[in-house]
């Protein structure tokens, strides 16, 4: 560490010593940049080609730059064709720019450097930030769905929750999240530091890689480095791809103030099906009589009058077809907590008793989103300052969910010594306030009324399921708080040392302070109650420092162009957490819930952790005659997470390209405006494991932060880091217990980096003057030494968590982008673009003890299959009568109305070996997006569609049935159906494990976005001369979904989410037959309508 | 400084700054915080703490791994109780244990978790033993005794595994952890497995002191009784199909002499009132042989209470969750007595049916029913002010209205605690109480060769006499008896034959130990070799009372034991052998 400080001091001295020097070698070139019409263009970037030296035109389009004779100035501006101008004798160079719908030649930030997009050799997606500026999401990633080829974005939908991003599919069995770099500073995830601490899940989850703290209006550019060759400059942590975000700087010397305001409403339009009381009663009755059980003994909610009618058919029991005559419902009458049969005059059901309470009516509300931004920017001759402030407030569509954000950003820079030295900073401070409410619109039985007669929130009465009234759960959480203060930014200095050689040093910070206040108040609602109030306060600090130093050398010698970057990077992370718990509060008020006021037990806890990374890296680009392009990268990384033997690893990459268009022989093909082929090979690493994963650990667990039950923290069916070690050996029943230690992890000093090797090949083309542009890429990745937790036998006992480098995977795919832009002459212009991607993963090797984590049986295992393979029985149809049953291969529970399974091994018996792999869960053959933009005079209309084709999903059947199709279940009177007879509890009888009946078509098409904007013309604005730009817009998101209705319609608006995101890879549905229990994914995706205004002064 | 001069120092400084400085490995060393390492634990003080941690693991049972109470396997599996709770799907794995039929797949999550938690407890014992072995008596004066305690704990823990899974993996502290996966559950035969456990108990008997300062540590006599119990289990020799093929007299005779020794010493005795066994206020009394220590107000958030039965409270006022573990009608009927106060051994399950206070007042009843089964209209837990009503059970239409009382406390009791949505008590969990030992003693006398069944008579009568003296708290609000309690001692004529004595002893075990699940009725039935017959008779009648039991069917040579969790077989790559029938 001492060395680090020495270096820093050395740098400071370096900079201080510069103050006495002056510069002034070059001539100053000035000029004016204009549109074709002659109107000045402010904000145009002027870069001396082959260098990073540049400036930006001011509000009148004027610029000034120092350049020597013979150098080339590159003029770029979003939406305009770039121009290159060679500097001759003249010192005034006026440049007109022609508009372009194409932005092929944008500059792209590719890691410690900027490159022309047309020179890229790897797979990089550049986001169209303009197109999403009116979108109402707090998190920029949420706006990117369907816009970036090969980038899958999974939306949580919950206010303030992040989006899960997967770049080019799954390539490891652990964490597949990319690395985020903002203004050169990596964003640090808490996820890997949290689990070792025993922190409550609820603290960790909201703070994992999540960009909701970042104001989207501050984003200048966003690009995604997808392949290893592009990403390997970030070596150590880049195997999942890199998302690079650059924030806005002041442009031009005119002071600008702009103000945005937007208001949105959110509505749930596509609801899951939930049975009415009558349907639920009928289903329960039907499943009971199918079993030969008296239906009046199975349900506490209903009472039936019914009979057998042999004239209608034999029925299941041969007694005749059961006929339901009447259903009697119970109501809850609050004054006695007793169940009563309906029809009672005191029934509190306002509506129809047969319909019952529709909990979705209660749980859903109209969501409201407000967003206000204000920005001040002022450029100077020697730098610039940009300040922005933002207020965002979202009240979600499900009760109790909200997110508020206050954020501010200050980006500034100062140039010294004739622009030879630049010192600057970027800093954002954000305060986020989340409230978690309902996770689903589903409630208890529809029999329960929402309110009691005297207007209190009704609770489940005795005899009811304990599922609480959703109004009650929201009420319980009303005082909970989850606040996160984040500071993120950097200070940097850049110096041009000698001609073509520049040096940059950047010190970045990523600081989080999370505080969670979790109150379990006292309440009483039927059998749901709590008699002793509890308070848990948690604090977590996470601090990440990044110090990077780079040297950049550029040289253009006739036709040879070189650029070389070399550098070092040091990252240090520290995390600290603590919590306090207290129970028994005399008053049930928010103000009284303070730890000091607790009269009962109190306990506290806390932990600390951290990691360090150190890296050297270098990158060289070489271009000959703008035709042949070569690049090579090497990075050597060391991580504190690995033992000394395996601490460092080297990640190399090489890439090459050939711009065919520049060859002589292409000169005749004038309709080909650009053509380039490229190929790349590279390696990247992954160290996404716990900070202390390699150590042998013992802990003292006197009192776990919560009860040590599996729903408490740190204790799962697999591991139990929080099983207490304290025991009342002397039977004194109080005081301090003696306590020992338990083993929580078995060490592995030979742990090493996980490595991904990727080959990428691509072609970029432009036709007809770049009216049509496109690119196509293919890739193959192999990931070896995957970091995975070994499966130890149950006999292992405590400490059965052990990390190893075990499995290997292979991921292949292709992706394409195609665009068309109309002529821009006249008032009307339009663009259309299509992106698409296909990706498939395959597990190529796996330690045998891990087979059990994935679906399979003794004869077939997951090796050679996707990590998300669907596995199960093959359903041929339904057994219609006893003779079919007798002829069918047997299985336990076989009977009329149940499935006829395919006997795969021909032994006339259905058992575990009669299952096979049947596709991939959630991963489509093609994921695509279609984006269109039409401009007419001041109007612009944007349309966006996205979808997945060739996709299977596994639909889970809940007890009581949450699929509408259970209404069509097989009976002796309804035989023409694919839905089997109802079994116990109204669920569909299945063999256990998956089957082809559950594997449904999950393809969908989503009309995602429509936006309509109008920019007031300059002529109109000239009357209000203090306004330079005024835009109003209307915007709709998530307009409709088209999907196969016979598929899983439990949550139709969410086919995005039926991907088992939160589940352990390979873990099946839990044994009760319920779903994956990942309730986050049940949050609906609302239709959002927004109006907004954008004024620039 | 002149411009011409700036370049050299700048270039120099920049290169110094960028020099790949000697980043030694130590810069990247980050050690874990708030944890201890392997070597830290070898000090005598810390080894003592590891012994505590081994005891603590015994108290880490919870509702999905209730390996102390074992009620899902013992009582629900043995026809003494229904699963209860919120319907079949609520803790479905216990429903599978209850009906033993069709769609119970090999992957029963309760079995899987329980298997892990029991081995976690064994692991802590082995950890402590390994480090105890490495110390000397000088370093740790209590060393030999602690080793014996760990032997006792390990034997009892394996006992639980053995009655659940029969063929298990035996691991002691000498085997390195990485070898565990290679050890088969068939390395020892069934009988050799019993010997392994018996040998552990013998080591404990040899060293443990007669008295212990800490109530949680076993004494020599406790070890003798546990050894005797294990000998009784071992005596019933099973074949590979779990059928009892012979009964070994030598084991029973050794057990008898152990029981005699301990009884003669007068260390344990029966509480004067049966009810004391089921109340916090009397925990640790003369009847408790060895118990799991539970505690409250001990600096932990919710207390180290009993989570193994935390689902079993009524849902009525003062409680709240979750209505599991409801006594069966068959069990309630078993408490009927004849005019002599003797149980109706052969026809107890015929009419009249015992459902409520009306039936308890109309029929001759063994008073223990009112300590065990909370029937409609009866006082709850000796409090005449609280009468069991239809709000006690959770889904009465499905599981009836009987509620279990033995593992409950009154909600007003200071040792009763709500923990999150659940409830539990700080009452210690008796792993053996002396009545249990007496019943094994009587059983051994009946089954040994030659049979000494007449000697079982006074032992059984000790138990019955105490039961008959335990009616003073079974009263209504006006002080009158809450039922028609008629219980009588057996006369020598009732023990005229070995078969008569056997019936009486077995029935007495059910009446005395019902709803106290460890080991529980299922394990008794399997030991006696009558599980298939008894339970299929149970299903045949009980399905008319609880219609979901139409699914119930006991399969001989399979349902005696639980399947080895499939995940364990997969991980072992076939080293573990599945039990027959699964």
Identify the bridge partners of residue A364 per DSSP, sorted by sequence position.
A398
What is the rounded average pLDDT of the residues A660-667? 86
User: Percent of chain A having pLDDT more than 90?
Assistant: 22
d(CA A446, CA A450): 9
* pLDDT over 50 (residue A345): no
The phi-psi region of residue A10 (left if phi > 0; otherwise alpha if psi is between -120 and 50; otherwise beta) is alpha
- Three-class SS of residue A648? strand
d(CA B117, CA A717): 9
Task: Yes or no: say if A676 and A180 are a contact pair by the CB < 8 Å rule.
Answer: no
d(CA A679, CA A995): 42
Q: With cut-offs at 50, 70 and 90, classify the pLDDT of residue A910.
A: confident
Please return the burial class of A713, using the count of CB atoms within 10 Å of its CB with bins 0-12, 13-18 and 19+: buried
CA atoms lying within 13 Å on the CB side of residue A685: 27
Q: For chain A, what is the radius of gyration of the CA atoms?
A: 32
Residues on chain A touching B87 (C-beta within 8 angstroms)? 465, 985
Highest mean pLDDT out of A146-155, A1088-1097, B327-336: B327-336
The pLDDT mean for chain A works out to: 79
Task: Yes or no: say if A213 and A432 are a contact pair by the CB < 8 Å rule.
Answer: yes
Q: Is B322 near chain A, with CB under 8 Å?
A: yes
pLDDT confidence of residue A199 = 33
pLDDT confidence of residue A217 = 85
* pLDDT over 50 (residue A202): no
3-class SS letters over B397-452: HHHCCCEECCCCCCCCCCCEEEECCEEEECCCEEEEEHHHHHHHHHHHHHHCCCCC
Q: Which of residues 572-611 of A touch B (CB under 8 A)?
A: 581, 583, 601, 603, 606-611
Q: With cut-offs at 50, 70 and 90, classify the pLDDT of residue B343.
A: very high
The crossing angle, in degrees rounded to 10, of helices B44-58 and B109-134 is 160
d(CA A136, CA A1008): 13
Q: Is B108 near chain A, with CB under 8 Å?
A: yes
- Three-class SS of residue A820? strand
- Three-class SS of residue A425? strand
B79-105 burial, b if ≥16 CB within 10 A, otherwise e? bbbbbbbbbbbbbbbbbbbbbbbebbb
> CA separation (Å) from B41 to A700, A740, A797, B131, B545?
11, 10, 18, 8, 57
d(CA A898, CA A978): 10
Beta strands in A950-1003 (DSSP E): 952-954, 994-995, 999-1001
Point out the least confidently predicted range of A749-763, A783-797, B442-456: A783-797
- Three-class SS of residue A589? coil
Q: With cut-offs at 50, 70 and 90, classify the pLDDT of residue A560.
A: confident
What is the rounded average pLDDT of the residues A435-440? 78
Tokens 């149940």 belong to A898
User: What letter would DSSP give residue A839?
Assistant: E
With CA atoms as reference, the chain A residue closest to B170 would be: A795
With CA atoms as reference, the chain B residue closest to A550 would be: B18
Task: Yes or no: say if A593 and A479 are a contact pair by the CB < 8 Å rule.
Answer: yes
Q: Is A336 near chain B, with CB under 8 Å?
A: no
Spell out the alpha helix ranges (H) of B320-362. 329-334, 357-362
Q: Do A1071 and B3 count as a contact with CB atoms less than 8 A apart?
A: no
User: Percent of chain A having pLDDT more than 70?
Assistant: 82
The per-residue DSSP string of B39-69 comes to: GGGGSHHHHHHHHHHHHHHHT--BTTB-TTT
- Looking at the complex, report in whole angstroms how far the Cα of residue B221 sits from the nearest Cα belonging to chain A: 18
Tokens 């835009």 belong to A1031
What is the rounded average pLDDT of the residues B137-146? 96
With CA atoms as reference, the chain A residue closest to B283 would be: A731
pLDDT confidence of residue A557 = 83
> Which are the contacts of A237, defined by CB distance < 8 A and separation ≥ 6?
A179, A186, A613, A685, A686, A687, A688
Residues on chain B touching A710 (C-beta within 8 angstroms)? 62, 64
Task: Give the model confidence (pLDDT) of A4-31 as tens digits.
Answer: 444 544 444 444 333 333 333 467 888 8
Q: With cut-offs at 50, 70 and 90, classify the pLDDT of residue B423.
A: confident
CA atoms lying within 13 Å on the CB side of residue A9: 6
* pLDDT over 60 (residue A1005): yes
d(CA A837, CA A63): 42
* pLDDT over 70 (residue A1006): yes
CA atoms lying within 13 Å on the CB side of residue A419: 21
Point out the least confidently predicted range of A50-59, A471-480, A1065-1074, B32-41: A1065-1074
With CA atoms as reference, the chain B residue closest to A726 would be: B56
* pLDDT over 50 (residue A207): no
Q: Do B23 and A1 count as a contact with CB atoms less than 8 A apart?
A: no
Return the sign of the alpha-carbon dihedral for residues A893, A894, A897, A903.
Answer: positive
Tokens 């049953």 belong to A885
Both tokens of residue A428?
Answer: 């954002």
Q: Do A338 and B50 count as a contact with CB atoms less than 8 A apart?
A: no
Both tokens of residue A98?
Answer: 């022609």
Residues on chain A touching B35 (C-beta within 8 angstroms)? 692, 695, 697-699, 744
| Of B580, B524, B529, the residue nearest B70 (C-alpha) | B524
Question: For chain A, how are helix, strand and coil distributed in percent, rounded to 5?
Answer: 15, 45, 40
> Which are the contacts of A77, defined by CB distance < 8 A and separation ≥ 6?
A33, A41, A43, A44, A45, A97
* pLDDT over 70 (residue A457): yes
A1074 φ, ψ (degrees, to nearest 5):
-75, 180
Q: Is B396 near chain A, with CB under 8 Å?
A: yes
Identify the bridge partners of residue A942 per DSSP, sorted by sequence position.
A933, A1011
- Looking at the complex, report in whole angstroms how far the Cα of residue A723 sits from the nearest Cα belonging to chain B: 7
Both tokens of residue B65?
Answer: 């791994």
Q: Do B216 and A797 count as a contact with CB atoms less than 8 A apart?
A: no
Helix (H) or strand (E) holding A451: none
- Looking at the complex, report in whole angstroms how far the Cα of residue B310 sits from the nearest Cα belonging to chain A: 11
d(CA A332, CA A526): 9
Pairing of strands A95-96, A27-34: parallel
Task: Give the model confidence (pLDDT) of B474-493 as tens digits.
Answer: 999 999 999 999 999 999 99
Both tokens of residue A152?
Answer: 């899958």
Q: Do A733 and B426 count as a contact with CB atoms less than 8 A apart?
A: yes
Residues on chain B touching A10 (C-beta within 8 angstroms)? 13, 16-17
The larger pLDDT score, comparing residue A69 to residue A642, is at A642
pLDDT confidence of residue A84 = 80
> Which are the contacts of A126, defined by CB distance < 8 A and separation ≥ 6?
A103, A106, A108, A117, A221, A222, A223, A224
Point out the least confidently predicted range of A990-994, B34-38, B126-130, B142-146: A990-994
**Distance from CA of residue A66 to its chain's centroid?**
44
Task: Give the model confidence (pLDDT) of B222-273 as tens digits.
Answer: 999 999 999 999 999 999 999 999 999 999 999 999 999 999 999 999 999 9
Task: Yes or no: say if B164 and B116 are a contact pair by the CB < 8 Å rule.
Answer: no
Task: Yes or no: say if A779 and A679 are a contact pair by the CB < 8 Å rule.
Answer: no
Identify the bridge partners of residue A836 per DSSP, sorted by sequence position.
A816, A928
pLDDT confidence of residue A775 = 93
Task: Give the model confidence (pLDDT) of B290-338 as tens digits.
Answer: 999 999 888 777 788 898 998 999 988 778 788 999 999 999 999 999 9
Residues on chain B touching A711 (C-beta within 8 angstroms)? 420
- Three-class SS of residue A244? strand
Smallest Cβ–Cβ distance between A703 and the set B112, B183, B300 belongs to B300
Q: With cut-offs at 50, 70 and 90, classify the pLDDT of residue A214.
A: confident
Q: With cut-offs at 50, 70 and 90, classify the pLDDT of residue A820.
A: very high
| Of A787, A937, A916, A923, the residue nearest A856 (C-alpha) | A916
Question: To the nearest 10°, the Cα dihedral for B160, B162, B168, B173?
Answer: 50
Q: With cut-offs at 50, 70 and 90, classify the pLDDT of residue A343.
A: very low
Task: Give the model confidence (pLDDT) of A31-60 as tens digits.
Answer: 888 876 666 777 788 888 777 677 878 777
Identify the bridge partners of residue A487 per DSSP, sorted by sequence position.
A429, A511
What is the rounded average pLDDT of the residues A919-928? 87
Q: Do B36 and A7 count as a contact with CB atoms less than 8 A apart?
A: no
User: What letter would DSSP give residue A263?
Assistant: E
- Looking at the complex, report in whole angstroms how far the Cα of residue A611 sits from the nearest Cα belonging to chain B: 6
B58-74 burial, b if ≥16 CB within 10 A, otherwise e? bbbbbbbbbbbbbbbbb
Residues on chain A touching B49 (C-beta within 8 angstroms)? 725, 738-741
> CA separation (Å) from B219 to A409, A750, B51, B215, B429?
70, 46, 16, 9, 17
Both tokens of residue A519?
Answer: 């109150």
d(CA B233, CA A542): 57
d(CA B299, CA A201): 23
Point out the least confidently predicted range of A105-114, B284-293, B376-385, B415-424: A105-114
> Which are the contacts of B176, defined by CB distance < 8 A and separation ≥ 6?
none
Angle (CA) A457-A459-A460 rounded to 5° is 160
pLDDT confidence of residue A706 = 55
What is the pTM (predicted TM-score) of this model? 0.81
Residues on chain B touching A613 (C-beta within 8 angstroms)? 28
């Amino acid at each position: 560490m001492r060395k680090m400080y020495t270096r820093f001091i050395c740098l400071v001295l370096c900079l201080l010593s510069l103050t006495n020097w002056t510069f002034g070698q070059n001539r100053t070139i000035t000029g004016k940049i204009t549109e074709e019409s002659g109107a000045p263009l402010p904000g145009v970037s002027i870069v001396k080609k082959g260098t990073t030296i540049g400036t930006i035109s001011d509000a009148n389009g004027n610029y000034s730059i120092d350049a020597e004779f013979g150098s080339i100035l590159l003029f770029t501006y979003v939406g305009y064709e770039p121009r290159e101008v060679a500097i001759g004798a003249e010192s005034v160079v006026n440049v007109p720019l022609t508009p372009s719908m194409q932005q092929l030649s944008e500059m792209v930030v590719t890691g410690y450097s900027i490159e022309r997009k047309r020179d890229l050799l790897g797979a990089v997606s550049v986001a169209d930030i303009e197109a999403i500026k009116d979108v109402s999401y707090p998190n920029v990633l949420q706006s990117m769905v369907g816009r970036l080829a090969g980038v899958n974005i999974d939306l949580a939908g919950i206010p303030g929750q992040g989006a899960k991003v997967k770049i080019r599919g799954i390539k490891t069995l652990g964490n597949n999240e990319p690395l985020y770099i903002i203004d050169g500073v990596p964003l640090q995830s808490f996820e890997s530091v949290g689990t070792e601490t025993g922190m409550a899940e609820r603290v960790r989850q909201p703070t994992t890689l999540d960009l909701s703290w970042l104001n989207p209006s501050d984003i200048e550019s966003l690009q995604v480095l997808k392949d290893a060759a592009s990403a390997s400059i970030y070596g150590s942590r880049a195997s999942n791809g890199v998302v690079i975000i650059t924030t806005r700087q002041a442009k031009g010397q005119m002071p600008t103030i702009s103000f945005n305001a937007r208001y949105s409403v959110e509505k749930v339009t596509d609801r899951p099906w939930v049975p009415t009381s009558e349907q639920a009663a009928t289903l329960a009755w039907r499943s009971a009589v199918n079993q030969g059980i008296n239906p009046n003994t199975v349900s506490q909610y209903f009472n039936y009058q019914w009979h057998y009618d042999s004239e209608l058919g034999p029925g299941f029991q041969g007694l005749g077809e059961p006929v339901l005559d009447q259903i009697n419902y119970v109501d809850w009458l609050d004054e006695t907590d007793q169940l009563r049969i309906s029809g009672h005059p005191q029934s509190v059901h306002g509506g129809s008793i047969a319909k019952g309470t529709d909990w979705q009516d209660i749980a859903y509300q109209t969501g409201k989103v407000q967003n206000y931004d204000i920005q001040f920017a002022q450029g100077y001759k020697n730098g610039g300052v940009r300040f922005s402030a933002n207020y965002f407030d979202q009240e979600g569509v499900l009760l109790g969910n909200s997110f508020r954000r206050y954020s501010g950003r200050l980006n500034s820079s100062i140039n010294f010594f004739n622009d030879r030295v630049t010192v600057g900073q970027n800093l954002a401070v954000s305060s986020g306030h989340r409230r978690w409410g309902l996770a689903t619109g589903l409630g208890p039985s529809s029999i329960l009324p929402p309110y009691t007669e005297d207007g209190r929130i009704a609770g489940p009465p005795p005899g009811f399921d304990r599922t609480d009234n959703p109004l009650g759960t929201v009420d319980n959480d009303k005082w909970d708080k989850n606040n996160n203060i984040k500071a993120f930014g950097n200070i940097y200095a850049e110096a041009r040392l000698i001609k073509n050689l520049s040096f940059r040093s950047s010190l970045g910070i990523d600081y989080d302070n999370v505080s969670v206040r979790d109150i379990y108040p006292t309440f009483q609602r039927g059998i749901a109650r709590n008699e002793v109030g509890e308070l848990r306060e948690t604090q977590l600090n996470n601090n990440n420092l990044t110090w990077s130093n780079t040297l950049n050398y550029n040289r253009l010698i006739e036709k040879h162009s070189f650029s070389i970057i070399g550098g070092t990077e040091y990252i240090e992370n520290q995390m600290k957490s603590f919590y306090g718990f207290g129970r028994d509060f005399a008053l049930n008020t928010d103000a009284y819930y303070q730890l000091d006021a607790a009269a009962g037990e109190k306990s506290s806890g806390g932990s600390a952790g951290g990691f360090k990374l150190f890296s050297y890296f270098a990158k060289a680009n070489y271009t000959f005659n703008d035709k042949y392009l070569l690049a090579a990268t090497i990075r050597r990384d060391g991580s504190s997470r690995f033992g000394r033997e395996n601490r460092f690893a080297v990640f190399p990459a090489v890439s090459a390209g050939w711009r065919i268009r520049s060859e002589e022989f292409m000169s005749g093909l004038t309709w080909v405006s650009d053509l380039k082929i490229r190929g790349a090979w590279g390696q990247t690493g992954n160290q996404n494991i716990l900070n202390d994963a390699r150590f042998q650990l013992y802990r003292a667990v006197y009192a776990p932060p919560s009860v040590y039950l599996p729903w408490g923290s740190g204790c799962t069916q697999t591991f139990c880091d929080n099983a207490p070690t304290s025991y009342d050996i002397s039977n004194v029943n109080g005081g301090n217990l003696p306590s020992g230690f338990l083993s929580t992890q078995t060490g592995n000093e030979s742990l090493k980096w996980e490595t991904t090797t990727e080959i990428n090949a691509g072609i970029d083309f432009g036709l007809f003057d770049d009216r049509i542009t496109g690119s196509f890429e293919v890739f193959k990745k192999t990931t070896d030494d995957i970091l995975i937790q070994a499966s130890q036998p149950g006999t292992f006992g405590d400490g059965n968590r052990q990390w190893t480098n075990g499995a290997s995977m292979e991921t292949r795919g292709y992706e394409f982008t195609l665009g068309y832009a109309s002529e821009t002459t006249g008032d009307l212009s339009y663009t259309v673009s299509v992106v698409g991607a296909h990706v498939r993963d395959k597990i190529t090797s796996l330690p045998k003890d891990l087979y059990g984590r994935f679906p399979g049986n003794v004869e077939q295992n997951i090796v050679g299959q996707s990590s998300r393979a669907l596995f199960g029985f093959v359903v041929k149809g339904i057994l219609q009568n006893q003779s079919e049953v007798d002829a069918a291969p047997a299985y336990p529970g076989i009977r009329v109305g149940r499935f006829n399974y395919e006997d795969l091994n021909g032994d006339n018996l259905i058992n575990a070996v009669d299952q096979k792999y049947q596709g991939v869960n959630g991963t489509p053959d093609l994921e695509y997006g279609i984006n269109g933009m039409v401009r007419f005079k001041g109007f612009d209309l944007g349309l966006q569609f996205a979808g997945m084709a060739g996709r299977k999903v596994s639909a889970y059947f809940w007890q009581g049935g949450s699929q509408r199709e259970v209404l069509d279940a097989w009976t002796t009177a309804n035989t023409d159906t694919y839905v089997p007879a109802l079994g116990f509890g109204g669920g569909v009888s299945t063999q256990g494990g998956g089957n082809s009946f559950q594997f449904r078509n999950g393809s969908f098409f989503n009309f995602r976005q429509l936006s309509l904007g109008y920019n007031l013309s300059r002529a109109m604005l000239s009357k209000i001369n203090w306004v330079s730009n005024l835009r109003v817009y209307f915007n709709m998101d998530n307009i409709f979904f088209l999907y196969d209705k016979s598929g899983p319609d439990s949550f139709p608006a969410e086919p995005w989410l039926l991907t088992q995101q939160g589940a352990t890879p390979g873990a099946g549905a839990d044994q009760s037959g319920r779903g994956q229990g990942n309730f986050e994914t049940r949050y609906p995706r609302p239709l959002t309508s927004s109006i907004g205004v954008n004024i620039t002064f | 400084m002149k411009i011409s001069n700036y370049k050299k120092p700048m270039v120099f400084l920049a290169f110094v700054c960028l020099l790949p400085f000697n980043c030694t490995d130590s810069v990247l060393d980050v050690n874990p915080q708030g944890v201890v390492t392997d070597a830290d634990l070898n000090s005598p003080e810390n080894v003592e703490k590891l012994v505590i941690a081994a005891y603590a693991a015994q108290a880490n049972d919870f509702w999905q791994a209730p390996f102390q109470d074992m009620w899902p396997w013992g009582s629900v599996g043995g026809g003494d109780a229904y699963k209860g709770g919120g319907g079949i799907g609520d803790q479905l794995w216990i429903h599978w244990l209850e009906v033993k039929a069709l769609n119970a797949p090999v992957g029963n999550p309760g079995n899987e978790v329980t298997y892990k938690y029991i081995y976690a407890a064994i692991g802590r014992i082995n950890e402590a033993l390994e480090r105890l072995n490495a110390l000397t008596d000088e370093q740790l004066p209590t060393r030999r005794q602690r080793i014996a305690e760990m032997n006792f704990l390990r034997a009892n823990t394996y006992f639980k595994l053995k009655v659940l899974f029969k063929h298990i993996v035996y691991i002691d502290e000498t085997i390195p952890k990485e070898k565990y996966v290679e050890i088969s559950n068939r390395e020892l035969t069934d009988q050799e497995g019993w010997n392994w456990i018996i040998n552990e108990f013998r080591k404990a008997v040899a060293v443990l002191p007669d008295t212990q300062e800490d109530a949680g540590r076993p004494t020599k006599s406790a070890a003798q009784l546990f050894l005797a119990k294990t000998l009784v289990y071992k005596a019933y020799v099973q074949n590979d199909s779990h059928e009892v093929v012979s009964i070994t007299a030598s084991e029973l005779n050794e057990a008898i002499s152990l029981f005699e020794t301990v009884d003669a010493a007068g260390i344990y005795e029966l509480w004067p009132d049966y009810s004391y066994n089921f109340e916090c206020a009397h925990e640790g009394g003369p009847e408790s042989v060895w118990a799991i220590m539970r505690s409250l107000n001990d600096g932990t958030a919710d207390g180290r209470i009993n989570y193994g039965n935390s689902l079993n409270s009524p849902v009525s006022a003062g409680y709240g969750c979750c209505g599991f573990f409801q006594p069966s009608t068959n069990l309630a009927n078993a408490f009927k007595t004849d005019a002599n106060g003797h149980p109706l051994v052969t026809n107890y399950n015929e009419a009249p049916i015992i459902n409520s206070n009306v039936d308890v007042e109309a029929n001759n009843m063994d008073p223990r029913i009112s300590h065990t089964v909370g029937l409609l209209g009866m006082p709850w837990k000796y409090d005449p002010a609280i009468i069991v009503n239809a709000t006690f059970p959770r889904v009465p239409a499905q599981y009836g209205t009987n509620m279990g009382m033995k593992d409950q406390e009154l909600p007003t009791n200071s040792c009763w605690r709500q923990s999150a949505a659940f409830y539990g008590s700080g009452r210690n969990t008796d792993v053996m109480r002396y009545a249990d030992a007496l019943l094994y003693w009587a059983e051994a006398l009946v089954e040994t060769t030659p049979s000494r069944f007449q000697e079982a008579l006074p032992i059984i009568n000790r138990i019955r006499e105490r039961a008959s003296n335990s009616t003073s708290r079974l009263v209504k609000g006006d002080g009158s008896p809450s039922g028609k309690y008629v219980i009588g001692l057996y006369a020598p004529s009732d023990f005229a034959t070995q078969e008569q004595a056997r019936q009486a002893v077995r029935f007495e075990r059910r009446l005395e130990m019902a709803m106290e699940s460890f080991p529980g009725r299922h394990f008794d039935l399997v030991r006696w070799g009558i599980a298939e017959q008894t339970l299929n008779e149970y299903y045949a009648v009980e399905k008319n009372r609880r219609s979901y039991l139409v699914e119930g069917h006991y399969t001989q040579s399979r349902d005696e034991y639980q399947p080895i969790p499939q995940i364990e077989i997969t991980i072992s790559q076939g080293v573990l052998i599945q039990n027959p029938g699964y």
